[in-house]
Every structure is written in structure tokens, then in C-alpha cells.
């Protein structure tokens, strides 16, 4: 016969206790998961913003250092140029930009500020170009040292990925009166734009969309 004073838990009490434990565990795990996700998004956003700022800093520095030589040297090599700045038909392309270019080359210029440097090409001027691949969301870059090509002055003919996750990149050019969507120095009375506005939109899966804009003015005096 069961003792009336024997202590124990009923099934209902056990179920209630387990429910309370599960609720507490779910709340703690939910808070932890939310905090972790927020931290990951914050870190991804910081990384995306840093990459966008770095890209704009490089581009604005090159725009400010646009160089207008009296005459560009002709290529001594018969190999095609990756940049396409100097050709038999057009040997004086110093500044040209068009975000609607069919080959994706949105900006070409001669500048004293190169991104790649080595022992033989520490100083410019350089021919540089940016090519945007909208399908891959990658902005490519290439540069060549303006010098008579020789064994002692190897040239860069490759396109290097400069920025990824680029949703779009827009350029605008100011001539002291109005803004233009493209610019060709030869068609603008041999003049450089007074200001160049660069707007980049970067889209990261973890960080979302980051939009940054900056404006740079070529320091070089128009010739």
C-alpha cells in the first residue's frame, strides 16, 4: 500500500517544468543568434564600406593627378594594348570616359598616380584604364608605364580585379556650366573636366547595398 506522505512530481508538473526550460532556452538562443547575426552584418557592412572608400580614394587620386603630355610616345611593340589608349588612329587619348562603352572600359586617362608599383616603374606617368563587368559585378584595372617599351621596362597588359560586388558605377563630368555623362578631351576642345563625380554602388550578400559618392578635380592645367 502506497504511503500517503510520499513526495513526488506528477506528469503535469514535469511537462510544465520542461516547457519553462524550453522557453528559457529558446529565448537565450534567439538572443544569441540575433546578436551574432547583427555582428556579422555589421562586420560585413564595415568591410564593404572600407572597400568602397578604398576604391574611390584610388580613383580620385588618379583623377587629381591627370597628366597632359606634349606628345605621347608611339608604341614600339606590335602586340595589342590591353588598355587601347594609343592606337594608330588615335595617339593622343589623354582623358576619355563613357560608362556606356560597349567594351566596358568606362575610364581611360594618363596620370602620374599609378596603383601598381615596382622597382622599374615607381614613377609615372602611366596610361590607366578601368573596365566594368556588370555581369560579374567586378571592376577591372590595368596600367602601362609611358615609356618606350624595352626589356628593362616591361609593360602590364593584364586586367586585374580591383573591386568586387560592384552593383553599378557612374561617372559625371562638369565643365563649369553643366554635367555630362561622358567625356572625351579631344572632342571637348582639348580640355579636361573641371570636376569628376564618381558614384559607386556595392551590393554584398551579408552587408546589403552600400552607396558612396565623391568628387575630384584634375589638378593638371589644361593645354
Residue 25: how many CA atoms within 13 Å on its side-chain side?
A: 6
Domain residue ranges in the chain:
46-216
pLDDT averaged per 10 residues, the chain (length 223): 61 83 83 75 83 93 86 48 44 77 90 78 81 94 72 61 92 93 80 93 81 88 47
pTM of the predicted model over 0.75: no
Instruction: Confirm if 55 and 139 have CB atoms less than 8 A apart.
Output: yes
Whole-number Å distance between alpha carbons of 40 and 33: 11
Question: What letter would DSSP give residue 5?
Answer: T
Whole-number Å distance between alpha carbons of 93 and 47: 35
> What are the Cα distances from residue 72, in Å, to 53, 91, 141?
32, 7, 21
Whole-number Å distance between alpha carbons of 131 and 140: 5
Quote the pLDDT of residue 72: 54
Quote the pLDDT of residue 220: 64
Quote the pLDDT of residue 187: 72
Quote the pLDDT of residue 12: 82
Amino acid at each position: 500500500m502506497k504511503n500517503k506522505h510520499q513526495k513526488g512530481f506528477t506528469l503535469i508538473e514535469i511537462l510544465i517544468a520542461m516547457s519553462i526550460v524550453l522557453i528559457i532556452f529558446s529565448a537565450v538562443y534567439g538572443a544569441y543568434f540575433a546578436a551574432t547575426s547583427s555582428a556579422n552584418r555589421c562586420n560585413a557592412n564595415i568591410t564593404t564600406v572600407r572597400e568602397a572608400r578604398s576604391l574611390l580614394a584610388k580613383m580620385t587620386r588618379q583623377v587629381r593627378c591627370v597628366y597632359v603630355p606634349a606628345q605621347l610616345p608611339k608604341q614600339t611593340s606590335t602586340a595589342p594594348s590591353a588598355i587601347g589608349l594609343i592606337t594608330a588612329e588615335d595617339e593622343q587619348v589623354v582623358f576619355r570616359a563613357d560608362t556606356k562603352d560597349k567594351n566596358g572600359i568606362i575610364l581611360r586617362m594618363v596620370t602620374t598616380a599609378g596603383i601598381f608599383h615596382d622597382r622599374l616603374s615607381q614613377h609615372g606617368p602611366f596610361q590607366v584604364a578601368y573596365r566594368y563587368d556588370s555581369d560579374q559585378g567586378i571592376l577591372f584595372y590595368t596600367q602601362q608605364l609611358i615609356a618606350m617599351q624595352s626589356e628593362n621596362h616591361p609593360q602590364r597588359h593584364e586586367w586585374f580585379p580591383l573591386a568586387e560586388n560592384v552593383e553599378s558605377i557612374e561617372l559625371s563630368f562638369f565643365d563649369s556650366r553643366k554635367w555630362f555623362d561622358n567625356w572625351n578631351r579631344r572632342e571637348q576642345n582639348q580640355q579636361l573636366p573641371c570636376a569628376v563625380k564618381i558614384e559607386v554602388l556595392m551590393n554584398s550578400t551579408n552587408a546589403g547595398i552600400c552607396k558612396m559618392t565623391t568628387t575630384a578635380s584634375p589638378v593638371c592645367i589644361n593645354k
